[in-house]
């Protein structure tokens, strides 16, 4: 091969090697450019994310559903338990208290023997009165026989009229004496009856006031024991005079008005009864009128002089929208609730509230049954706040109307 050909081959080889070198360099530069582009794009996205402020977290709340139900309207007053009958048992004769036949706190029936007084002085009086009567009866019979003789002699014109009249007067006098003797006998027997002290009513015996062996008198003010009737029992409670027309209107229907007795904290219902009557005048110093309710008290839930809260049911409203009272909020614009929307945000809804009874509020306008309202956690809410439901109550329970 000539030298010229060898130089051409060597020149072409160098050019081909140079071309591949530039291709490799260009590929490396492209790869570096792509890498730098991706790196800087990632850094910018990270910086953008770091510069963006995160949204506020959802506020945890408890919501309840508004229900359509029957709503009871009550009138409440703080009253006291008053027995229908309270009797202080006293002795009706003077004498020594011999036996006490009751236990303190015992339930007794009318006519049960409670105590006895020494009967011997009255037995002696009975014996004396019977003896006096026997003597006067004998004298009366003798005087009546003499009177018959005088009448026969008078018809025969054998005695004077004065003797006949005197004998008739003697007979009348002895008849009066016999009646007096009979009265003394009856009095002595009555005193013996009074020596047996019995219960005038059915009820519960209190603490014993006199011990056996003491001399008791009919004029003693303390008495022997106090008996209070527990079944039935009444509760007297006041209501404002403004509620009187509503109560009287219900009484005119002739149907009983249910009354519930609760403890002083309004947490436990003690008994259920009915309204008995309304007082005949309003107390001008307090502007209230007293009402009396009667309770069967079969389980002795109520005790005399106990303070209770009496709830009088005056109306049952049917088909009312009801929510828990804790859902109702108050602001400068009026009353409102926070309604939970489908996107888990809340909106302020202005409402008109009726009565609030037993932790439930009746809604006149502004809310529909089935909507969710916030009952707990509303203090952190504003219009549009995102919420997280931590719990959902069933809403107010349906309260069936009590028939009148």
Q: Would you write out the chain's pLDDT as a tens digit for each of its 404 residues?
A: 455 545 554 566 666 666 677 777 777 777 776 676 666 666 555 544 554 455 578 888 898 888 888 888 889 999 999 999 999 999 999 999 999 999 999 999 999 999 999 999 999 999 999 999 999 999 999 999 988 988 888 888 777 888 888 989 999 999 999 999 999 999 999 999 999 999 999 999 999 999 999 999 999 988 999 999 999 999 999 999 999 998 998 888 888 999 999 998 888 999 999 999 999 999 999 999 999 999 999 999 999 999 999 999 988 888 888 999 888 999 888 899 999 988 889 899 999 888 887 788 889 888 889 889 999 888 888 888 888 888 666 655 544 333 33
User: Which 8-state DSSP code applies to residue 287?
Assistant: T
The residues with which 331 forms a beta bridge, in sequence order, are 334
The C-alpha atoms of residue 377 and residue 329 are separated, in whole angstroms, by 12
The C-alpha atoms of residue 166 and residue 164 are separated, in whole angstroms, by 5
Helix (H/G/I), strand (E/B), else coil: 265: coil
**What kind of fold does domain 87-225 have according to CATH?**
OB fold (Dihydrolipoamide Acetyltransferase, E2P) (2.40.50)
The C-alpha atoms of residue 274 and residue 402 are separated, in whole angstroms, by 12
**What kind of fold does domain 61-69+318-393 have according to CATH?**
2.40.420
Nearest to 313 by CA among 246, 268, 266, 241: 246
The C-alpha atoms of residue 367 and residue 246 are separated, in whole angstroms, by 28
Residues contacting 294, CB < 8 A, separation 6+: 84, 232, 233, 234, 273, 274, 276
**Structure pTM?**
0.66
The C-alpha atoms of residue 341 and residue 74 are separated, in whole angstroms, by 33
Residue 47 has a pLDDT of: 47
Residue 210 has a pLDDT of: 92
Q: At 175, give phi and psi (nearest 5°).
A: -65, -40
Residue 262 has a pLDDT of: 94
What CATH number should be reported for the domain whose range is 74-84+228-317?
Answer: 2.40.30.170
Strand pairing of 59-65 and 387-393? Answer: parallel
- Alpha carbon 225 to chain centroid distance? 30
Would you call 347 exposed, middle or buried from its count of C-beta atoms within 10 A (0-12, 13-18, 19+)? middle
Angle (nearest 5°) at CA 361 between 359 and 367: 140
Other CB atoms within a 10 A radius of the CB of residue 199 amount to 20
Buried b / exposed e over 316-337, threshold 16 CB at 10 Å, is beeebbbbbbbbbbeeeeeebb
Residue 58 has a pLDDT of: 83
Residue 403 has a pLDDT of: 35
The C-alpha atoms of residue 73 and residue 66 are separated, in whole angstroms, by 18
The C-alpha atoms of residue 404 and residue 252 are separated, in whole angstroms, by 12
The C-alpha atoms of residue 61 and residue 377 are separated, in whole angstroms, by 5
């Amino acid at each position: 091969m000539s030298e010229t050909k060898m130089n051409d081959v060597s020149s072409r080889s160098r050019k081909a090697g140079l071309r591949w070198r530039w291709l490799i360099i260009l590929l490396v530069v492209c790869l570096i450019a792509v890498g730098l582009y991706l790196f800087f794009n990632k850094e910018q996205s990270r910086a953008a994310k770091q510069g963006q402020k995160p949204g506020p977290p959802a506020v945890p709340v408890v919501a309840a559903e508004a229900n359509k139900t029957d709503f009871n309207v009550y009138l409440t007053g703080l009253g006291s338990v008053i027995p229908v009958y309270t009797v202080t048992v006293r002795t009706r004769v003077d004498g020594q208290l011999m036996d006490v036949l009751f236990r303190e706190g015992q339930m007794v029936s009318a006519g049960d023997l409670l105590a006895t007084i020494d009967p011997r002085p009255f037995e002696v009086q009975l014996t004396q009165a019977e003896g006096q009567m026997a003597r006067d009866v004998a004298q009366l019979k003798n005087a009546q026989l003499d009177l018959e003789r005088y009448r026969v002699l008078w018809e025969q014109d054998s005695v004077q009229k004065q003797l006949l009249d005197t004998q008739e007067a003697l007979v009348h006098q002895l008849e009066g004496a016999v009646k007096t003797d009979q009265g003394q006998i009856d009095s002595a027997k009555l005193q013996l009856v009074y020596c047996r002290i019995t219960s005038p009513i059915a009820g519960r015996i209190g603490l014993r006031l006199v011990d056996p062996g003491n001399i008791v008198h009919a004029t003693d003010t303390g008495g022997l024991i106090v008996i209070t009737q527990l079944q039935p029992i009444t509760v007297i409670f006041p209501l404002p005079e403004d509620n009187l027309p509503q109560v009287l209107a219900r009484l005119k229907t002739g149907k009983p008005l249910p009354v519930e007795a609760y403890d002083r904290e309004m947490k436990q219902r003690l008994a259920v009864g009915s309204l008995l009557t309304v007082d005949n005048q309003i107390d001008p110093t307090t502007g209230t009128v007293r009402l009396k309710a009667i309770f069967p008290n079969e389980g002795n839930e109520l005790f005399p002089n106990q303070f209770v809260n009496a709830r009088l049911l005056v109306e049952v409203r049917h088909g009312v929208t009801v929510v828990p009272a804790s859902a109702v909020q108050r602001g400068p614009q009026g009353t409102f609730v926070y309604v939970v929307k489908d996107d888990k945000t809340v909106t302020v809804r202005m409402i008109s509230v009726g009565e609030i009874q037993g932790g439930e509020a009746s809604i006149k306008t502004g809310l529909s049954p089935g909507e969710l309202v916030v009952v707990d956690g509303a203090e952190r809410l504003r219009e549009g706040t995102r919420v997280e439901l931590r719990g959902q109550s069933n809403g107010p329970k349906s309260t069936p109307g009590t028939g009148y």
